[in-house]
Amino acid sequence: MALTGVAASTTKIAKDAGVAEGTLFIYFPTKDELLNQLYLDLKSDLRGFLTADYPDDTSVQEQIHHLWSRFIDWGESNPDKRKALRQLSVSERITEASQNAGEAMFDDLQTVVLNGFKTGILREQPLTFLGEVIQALADSVLQMAARDPAGLDAYKALGWTALWGAIARR
């Protein structure tokens, strides 16, 4: 899926999963239902990774830093999942209901950002814009690290400095 995108045939998907194509259709009557479930599974996997050891009782900055660091670590350790999630996130085959369910998985994590807005620690901006900024910086960090794996920690730190500088009120 990550290599061929949403255009992958169900034959290819079944082969990669190590099951017969007919088996897929026992659980997923259509390819679109399969893709929507994959989207939700990837979102759930990401959420679980982000929230591992989440520091509930720390500052907004520390909480966002934790999420940033974990997001980079997930992307670095799961490049195929990251690519598949990126492709599915922009696919017209993902239903509005699946998109809403995927976003809802992160509602509690958005609370830290909303608290940052309320307290004035963060500059107010649309959450979707903030998400795109985070995604763009993460893409840059991961692209640099792909070229220079030994520099991952340095690129992650540079990405954090850029992100915090972009979102924090001075």
3-state helix, strand, coil in the chain (%, to 5): 75, 0, 20
- Residue 152's pLDDT band (cuts 50, 70, 90): very high
Instruction: Round the average pLDDT of the chain to a whole number and report it.
Output: 91
Quick: pLDDT tens for 1-16. Answer: 545 566 667 677 766 6
With beta carbons less than 8 A apart as the criterion, state whether 75 and 142 touch. yes
**CA–CA dist 46, 101 (Å, integer):** 14
With beta carbons less than 8 A apart as the criterion, state whether 23 and 14 touch. yes
Based on its alpha-carbon atoms, the radius of gyration of the chain, rounded to whole angstroms, reads 18
**CA–CA dist 27, 126 (Å, integer):** 38
Instruction: Output phi, psi for 47, to 5 deg.
Output: -60, -45
pTM above 0.75, yes or no: yes
Q: At 35, list the tokens.
A: 């893709």
With beta carbons less than 8 A apart as the criterion, state whether 104 and 45 touch. no
Tokens 């990405």 — which residue? Answer: 159
pLDDT at residue 17, as a whole number: 63
Give the chain's domains with CATH numbers.
31-167 (1.10.357.10)
pLDDT at residue 8, as a whole number: 67
What average pLDDT score do residues 10-37 get?
76
Quick: pLDDT tens for 98-111. Answer: 999 999 999 999 99
- Residue 41's pLDDT band (cuts 50, 70, 90): very high
Quick: pLDDT tens for 57-87. Answer: 999 999 999 999 999 999 999 999 999 999 9
**CA–CA dist 49, 156 (Å, integer):** 17
Q: At 110, list the tokens.
A: 């958005």
Q: At 101, list the tokens.
A: 């369910």
